[in-house]
Structure 1
C-alpha cells in the first residue's frame, strides 16, 4: 500500500498526487523526434491496454483542421478509443483533401502499428497552418513506436505535443470511489491562440474509472465550460483545438453516471484536472510574466459573471497594465462596461488582491506604492463584486508583454 492510498484512507475522497497522463491503470504514452522539428520531440502517442470509453469537445473555429474531422469520424463510429497519435510542428489545417487523406493515413499507420481497429484511433496535429505534412517522416516515426506493455514515457508525450510552450503541463488526482482507487491524469499544450471558445489548445485526460459514455460526454462538456473555456491569452481561437478524455474502466469501480451516489466525486476530480491544466496554459501565455485570476461575485446570474470575468481577462489594456504593474482600475471598470451585461455602477466594488480600488462605483483611497508592490507578484487576483445577485465565475489569463509580439512576429521563421 502506498502513501497515496494511506492518505485517502484517512478520510479524504480526493487527493492530488504526483502523476501524469500514464498514471491511471493501463495507460501508456511516449514521444520522439521524427524530423518535423529541427531538434525537439514532435511525434507523440497515447494508448490504453483495452478500448476506453471516450469523449471529446472541439474548437468552434469554422476552419477545423483535418485531424479533428478524422477523430470525429472515429468517435461517431463508436464511443470507444484505444489510442491517440499526435504530431506537433505542423497543424495539417487548411490543407484540403490531401490533408484529410494524410490524417486518415496517420490513423491507419498507428492502428496497424499497435494492432488497433482504425476507428479506435484519434488523430491530432498542432503547429503551422497551411502546410502539408511530411508524411514519409511521420510514417517512419510511427513505425518506430514500441508496442510493448509497460511503456510509461509520459514526459516524452507531454514534450512532443508542445509548440511555443515553455513548459509541459501535467496533473493527476486520486479518488476513492466504490472502495476502489480511481486515478485521473491529464496533460495539455497551449501558449498562444488561446481564447475562451471551447478552449484553444489540446488537452488529453485519462482515467481508469468505468464511466457511462453519454455521462462522460456531458461531464466533459460541463467541465470544459468552467475551466478551459474560462482562459484567454490573446483572443485568438485556433483551428486544431480539442479536449479528449478516455476512461478504460480498469480501476474496477461500478459504472459511473449521474445516478451513481459518488458521481460528484468523479466530477470534482475531472474539474480539478481541467482547471489545473487551464491555469497552467494561462500562466504559459506567450511572453507572459504573470498569471491573472479574475473572480466575479454577486452577479445577477452565473452567466453574467462568466461574461464579465472573460471581458476583463480578455482586455489588452488590463493585461498591459498588469504587465506594467500599474493599478489602473479604470481599465477594469471599462471592460465591465462594454461586456454587454447590464450592471448597477453604484453597487460595484473592485479589489486588486486585497487592495480595494473601487467602492460603490467610486474611486477608493489606496496606496499606489502598496498596489505596485502587490502587482510585482507572479499571481495576480482581480476581485469584482457586483452586489446584485448570487452568480459567480472565475476566469484566468496572463499579462501582455513585449515578448508576445516578438514570438508571434517570427512564428513561421
Structure 2
C-alpha cells in the first residue's frame, strides 16, 4: 500500500481537504471543500484533469459540524479511491503560540497545548482542534501532524515581536505572532526555486484574500508582518477589521453596553470589506457593484495595503520585490494595479499588459523592484510536513 496523506484545513464554517500520494514528493490526487458547515452545506471536489470535478449541495445532517463534514468527505474519497488508506493526516492549525516553531506530531500533550492556545485564536483554534479530534477517530493508526500558521514568523527579531506592555505579558505569550505562515513559506520556496538571487534580498509578500496580511522577508526569513497577537490585526479583510484603535473596544463596551463577545463577533464577522460596503466580503462582488459604499471599501483596502507596504519596506531597508498571492492577489488585476500606482519611489513600475495577462512577472523592464504573482499552495506544505514526520525515525523525535 502506497503511503498516502490527507490534508485538512478547518475553518469556522468550512473544511478544505486534499489527498496526496507521499511515496516521494507529494502528488495531489484530489482537492476539495465543504463550505457552509452548520447551515446549507455544499461540497466541491476536483479529482484532477483526467478524473473530473464534482459540486453539489449536501443535506444539513451531512455537515452539521466538522465531524459530520469529515465523515462525508471520507465516504466520498473511499468510494472514489477504495484502495487508499491514509497513513498520515496533516492539519493546518492557526496558532502555535511561542512553543511551536515547526510542524509537530500530535500527541496528547501537544493536543492539550493546542487547546490552551484557544484564547489566542478563539474563532479559529477550536475548529482546528475539532478537525484533529475527528481525524484521530477516523484514522486511529495514522500519524497526525499539526502545521502552524504562526511557525514561519517565530524567528522574527524581538523588536518586531513585542507590544509596549509590561514585560510580564510577553512572558505570558502576549506577542506579535503573524499568520498565513504556510502560504509565506511556500511562496518563499518558490522564489528560491526560480529566482535564487532575489530570494536572498528584501521581499514583501502580500497574501491578499478573505484573510489578508503582508510579510517582509530577508533571505527568505520573516522579519516583520502585519498581523499580531491574533489574526485580526493589520490589513482589513473580508469580514475582519484589521488594525483598529483599542479604544474602540472601550467605547463599545462602556458607551454602547456591548458585551466582549458581541464586540468580538462584530470585529471578526461583520467588519472589513463587508462592514464598509454593507454589501459583501467578496472583492469580486465589490468590484462589479460600483456603488459608493463598495468603492469606499475597495479604497480603504488599497490604502491600507499601500500604507503597510511602505512600513514594511522601511523595516527591510528597501525593497527588491513585491509578491502577490492569495485569492485577491492572484486574480484581481485592478487591486494589484492600484496598490502599485505611483510607487516609483519604491522602485516599482507596473507593466499594465503583463498585469492584465496575469503573468508571473508584472513589472516593467524599467522597474528597479520586481513585482511578481505567485499562486500559493498551503496544502502542499501540509502534505510535505505530513510525509516528513510520518516516515522514518523523525516520528518518535517529533512526538516528544
Settle same-fold status: TM greater than 0.5.
no
* TM bucket normalised to smaller: under 0.3
Judging by fraction of residues, say which structure has more strand: 1
Higher share of residues assigned helix: 2
Q: TM-score, normalised by structure 2?
A: 0.26
Higher relative contact order, structure no. (Cα contacts within 8 Å, ≥ 6 residues apart): 1
